[in-house]
């Protein structure tokens, strides 16, 4: 077990360079900065610890409020001893973070090599369920997509180059750590991404209030199904709508379409049932 002086170091100076990455975390977001990102809270730390060492993510250091230590002992026990863990008082921790950090649990994560889209596609099982997001820059929506992808057993999330990084603090938090468990790749245009999935025999369905098919009527294709979500305002580009199948979620007429995260969640729920994944 880690104790102070043995795997656990006390921080008394908010300016201590060993915890510099946690300074003023609201003001600057580490996502994209050499793959570093901020982990917050017990649940996300647990997901990060589970992912650590599996190849995609690593925990670089941990910073805890002193009275939260006992609550995460079981997680710390699963993190190798060479990952530094620091503790601080509430006053010091708040001075580091730049605001009152009531959760009291922080860690610095690092994404290892960015996965390549083709190798990710190679890992997809038969009857795959994939989410493809186009232009989703809202951190809540990206987080919700990952959380729902995990809840309904999606095999991958693919983000086009205009989506935000899912490792942004808020996206990761809203995903309740699912960004660390659901395989994903990010980059390229939505059309090139979808073409590559179509070449592999996956069936592509763009979600839209004006979709041609009711979501419930999508057949359980043997190679798998890709659900494509666009932004709320713009929707999916015509190039996608004209090239692939389109599906709508039944709802009352004359209303604003559903929130992008919500639409993806309902579509995943529906297709996971059709594919007998849930």
Which residues contact its own copies by CB under 8 A? Answer: 43, 140, 144, 147-148, 150-153, 176, 216, 249-252, 255-256, 258-259, 261-262, 265-266, 269, 272-273, 277-278
DSSP 101-167: -SS-EEEEEEE-SPPPHHHHHHTPPTTEEEEEESS---HHHHHHHHHHHHHTT-SEEEE-TTSPPTT
Classify strands 36-40 and 105-111 as parallel, antiparallel or unpaired: antiparallel
Closer residue to its own copies (CB): 39 or 249: 249
For the bound state, the minimum distance from the C-beta of residue 99 to its own copies, rounded and expressed in Å, comes to: 16
Q: Which is nearer to its own copies, 9 or 175 (CB)?
A: 175
Q: Which is nearer to its own copies, 238 or 256 (CB)?
A: 256
Residue 77 CB neighbours (<10 A): 11
DSSP H or E segment with residue 274: helix 260-274
Burial 48-72 (b: 16+ CB within 10 A, else e): bbebbeeebbbbebbbbbbebbeeb
Minimum Å gap between C-beta 44 and its own copies is 10
Q: How far is the CB of 206 from its own copies (least distance, A)?
A: 19
- Whole-number minimum distance, CB 274 to its own copies, in Å? 12
CB of 276 to its own copies, least distance (A): 10
Question: 17 vs 253, which CB is nearer to its own copies?
Answer: 253
Pairing of strands 57-65, 3-4: unpaired
Instruction: Select 38 or 150, whichever has its Cβ closest to its own copies.
Output: 150
253 Cβ neighbours under 8 A, 6+ residues apart: none
Q: In terms of CB distance, is 85 or 272 closer to its own copies? A: 272
What's the min distance (Å) between Cβ of 170 and its own copies? Answer: 12
């Amino acid at each position: 077990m880690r104790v102070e002086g043995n795997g656990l170091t006390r921080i008394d100076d908010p300016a201590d360079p060993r915890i510099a990455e946690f300074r003023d975390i609201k003001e600057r977001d580490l996502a994209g900065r050499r793959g570093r990102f901020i982990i917050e809270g017990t649940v996300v730390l647990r997901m990060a610890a589970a992912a650590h060492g599996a190849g995609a993510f690593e925990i670089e250091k941990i910073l805890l409020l002193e009275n939260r230590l006992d609550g995460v002992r079981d997680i710390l026990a699963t993190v190798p001893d060479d990952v530094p863990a620091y503790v601080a008082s509430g006053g010091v921790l708040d001075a580091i973070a730049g605001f009152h950090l009531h959760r009291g649990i922080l860690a610095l994560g690092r994404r290892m090599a960015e996965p390549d889209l083709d190798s990710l596609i190679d890992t997809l099982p038969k009857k795959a369920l994939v989410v493809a997001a186009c232009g989703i820059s809202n951190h809540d929506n990206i987080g919700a997509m990952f959380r729902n992808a995990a809840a309904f057993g999606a095999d991958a999330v693919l983000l086009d180059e205009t989506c935000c990084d899912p490792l942004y603090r808020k996206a990761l938090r809203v995903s309740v750590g699912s960004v660390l468990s659901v395989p994903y790749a990010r980059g390229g245009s939505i059309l090139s991404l979808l073409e590559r999935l179509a070449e592999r025999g996956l069936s592509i369905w763009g979600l839209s209030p004006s979709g041609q098919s009711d979501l419930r009527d999508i057949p359980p294709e043997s190679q798998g199904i890709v659900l494509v979500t666009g932004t709320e305002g713009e929707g999916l580009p015509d190039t996608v709508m004209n090239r692939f199948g389109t599906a709508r979620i039944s709802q009352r007429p004359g209303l604003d379409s559903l929130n992008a995260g919500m639409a993806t969640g309902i579509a995943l729920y529906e297709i996971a049932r059709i594919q007998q994944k849930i």
